[in-house]
Structure 1
């Protein structure tokens, strides 16, 4: 079903192409040839515009796929999400949250992550919210470095 059929309830009228010389009236013959030339020109412009829109849309796309067991960073809106991490200044919080393990792939563009049990959000996210973690998985240390009397880290 086309959009025209959905709106108007019947299929659009078909414009038949004109065979030159099939009309005995010269004015009708000229008008129908001009109409066919105009329709051809409009179709070419439409195809050109569609190709240009595809080009600009595909420039912003990035092909991202993850395997089960990969580590990814999760992008959430910090001013809306408070169950993953708690920050005093949400405006200056980082955009991506700590790396999470990919548990499963759901469909073509969604992945289930191994979130913390304390987070109160659904663990399946679209691929656009994920960023691959490069390098080996390093666990951050919670022990602070000692500070000397001068105020510098030893």
Structure 2
């Protein structure tokens, strides 16, 4: 559970309460008016989420300042901790249909948890290969651990807060060269990779090209035949 704040007003609302189910990734996006209280959030959660799914086993949040009382929305609303979910034990219900249904639900839940943890481990393994510590200067403020608010002109209509993955390090005197029309000429400097793709009924070779005066992430896939025609003297 988290908040998106500082949005332009829409029907007197300028914030969004985001609630995502950790298991199924199903999300709810609830409009709020900032500033709001823990009681406001609890009522919104009760009316939009609790009525559909009951109380979750746990709530993961960054403990926004509105939760200074260190209580979950359930505790703030009802004055007591939420009930603990107990897994169903086979044979507890005397009704055979109910017993089979609940056993099936528990089996499905265990399978989902297994697949979720396996997927999380796989995603973390591959993502960690591309992660690095980053910090930025000349920004207004840091929002959480992975976002920054930049200083834009007053008339700008772009939201100034960006995830760290959307930002690039500024390197002085490293601006791309442009022609008289403001366009940057593209000159290849290296072939990074090759691949075969299907276009229509034919297999076509494409090459991943690193361009001069550009960042590594700006490399593009180009058809090999068209690339050789445009740059006949290029030697990879």
TM-score by length of 2: 0.27
> Higher strand fraction: Structure 1 or Structure 2?
2
TM-score by length of 1: 0.36
Larger radius of gyration: 1
